[in-house]
Amino acid sequence: MTLIHEVRAGGIVLNETPEASVVTLWGEIDIALRDEASAALAGAFQRDLPVIVDASEVTFLDSAGIAFLVQLCRIGQDEGLSVTLHDPPAVVSEPLGTLHVDVPVAH
C-alpha cells in the first residue's frame, strides 16, 4: 500500500507574543491556504495589539494571497492597530505598491 502525503508549498501561521500578533508567511501563498489565512486574520485582531507580518520567506503570491494581505492591512487601519510588514521580498511589496496599500516596512 502506498501512502500519499500532502506536501505544503507554503503556509500562514499566527504566533502570539506579549507585544504583538505575528503573522508569518512562507513559500507559496495562494488559494490553498484560505483556511490558514482566515484563522490568522481572525486571531490577529482579537488581541488589540500591533500586527507584524513576516513575509521574508514568501516565494509566490497569487491574487488570494494579495487579497489576504490587503484585508490584513485594511482591517488593521480600520481598527486603529499598527500593521507592519517585515522584510518583504519584491513578490510581496510590488503588488501591494501597485494597489497603493500603504503599510510600514521593517527590516
* Res 7: pLDDT: 55
* Res 1: pLDDT: 47
- DSSP string of 49-94, one letter each residue: S-EEEEEEEEEEE-HHHHHHHHHHHHHHHHHT--EEEES--HHHHH
Residues of the chain predicted below pLDDT 50: 1, 3-5
* Res 41: pLDDT: 93
Ordered by where they begin, the domains of the chain are: 10-106 (3.30.750.24)
The C-alpha angle 41, 44, 47, rounded to 5 degrees, equals: 145
* Res 104: pLDDT: 87
